Structure 1
């Protein structure tokens, strides 16, 4: 960590690396789920209303980021880390819980191919309603909801990581890169990305979010970690060990 006279302008290489990785993976997971919806709608109902819904959803997410980003960056460093830590713990623990339940067999793994077939069936049965500027309101709203609901969680993750590192543009860049990679893959394949190891990615992101949430939340509450930022990988490794052990125990319980 390199310090400057401004306490909010330091550069944390470890935090920056985890920022890029966490935001990219989190956004990629949600983008895969949104892609499944958009593909089903576009192929079944037409690409124009589907892409209009995508554009509207992305515009709303951009407004959310633009509105909340500056508000987070004006908070004092300790207050910011306390807020960010709490938010990351909320998201991280939810992702870990779902990933553990799926990996241990207590919850079905998400099947993008099956989800795609369900979306296709629903889209084929729905009636078309024309609205101003939109030829098919059903296709528009379904794409809009898919992009917005999947994107909001990622937007908050990008904002919290970016605000804490005082580099929201970098977090936004990681999110945009993930969306572009998934969108490009979908455009080439013209099929849902069923082979993407979504649960493994969710497990990894959940571990990182929880580790950062613990680390930054404790700092925001006034705690001093032994070794400073060097303790962060240890915290993440501890969360990984606990989550892995929980998965192993639940698998054994289910097998018994």
Structure 2
């Protein structure tokens, strides 16, 4: 049980975090594919995936050269900052202070931009570049999650499999419905992933400075519960102080 908790939580964090980022990247790639054809869309996406794979292969093994306590502390601090950034965005969006990310709107905007470039002789090149940038930019966050969440406890392979599963699921669903995945509760997923990354960060920062967590790895579940309750309390407090505008609801 002690070993199962961190394994399930690391794979879940990698899967959910990757799923959110993959949905955003797929929206742009789909717009490119429907507007300019499969060739530029697939070329840009595949090149970006190759770059991302190279990053994982290059930086993953380097983590083994870093002393474990230093690695845990450094990764822990980064995960706290990264996770709290996701939490902040999710909270502000749930309150209506920041607009929710709209995949349909992003798809329409990208499609319109690509159609305006239709008369340019470089249209296919620009379309492929758009797909490349979308996959690369969203993928960099996936790589960070895979390496950071998996590296501190030697589970990079497991987190990579979680990210790969998310990628396959998004592609399969996206190709089946042939439209942006607008109904994915992206903000709720970002909130959960933010909680998980922040919890990992606190846990590993503690291990890095020599803390002896009660219950060993099971302490991660308690940390998650505390962070979740604190975050929900903040959401409730802010919602009372700043009621969401009419028509704005979290998704």
Alignment of 1:248 with 2:232, yes or no, is: no
How is 1:101-180 mapped onto 2 (pairs within 5 angstroms)?
101-127=92-118, 128-130=120-122, 136-180=124-168
Match of 2:61? 70
Number of matched residues?
Answer: 243
Which of 19, 30, 47 aligns to 1:28? It is 19
Query: Which whole-Å deviations, capped at 9, do the CAs of 1:110-148 have from their partners, x for residues lacking one?
Result: 111111111111111025444xxxx81111110000000
Alignment of 1:214 with 2:202, yes or no, is: yes
Unaligned runs of 5+ in 2: 245-251
Partners of 2:125 and 2:63 lie apart in 1 by 35
1:77 to 1:42, Cα distance in 2 relative to 1, 3 A: same
> Aligned-residue CA RMSD in angstroms?
1.5
- TM-score, length-scaled by structure 2: 0.93
Q: Which aligned segments of 4 or more residues in structure 1 are displaced greater than 6 angstroms?
A: none
Question: Which stretch shifts more, 48-57 or 222-231?
Answer: 222-231
Structure with the larger RCO, 1 or 2 (CA within 8 Å, 6+ apart): 2
Partners of 1:129 and 1:73 lie apart in 2 by 48
Partners of 1:96 and 1:253 lie apart in 2 by 18
- TM-score, length-scaled by structure 1: 0.91
Alignment of 1:85 with 2:76, yes or no, is: yes
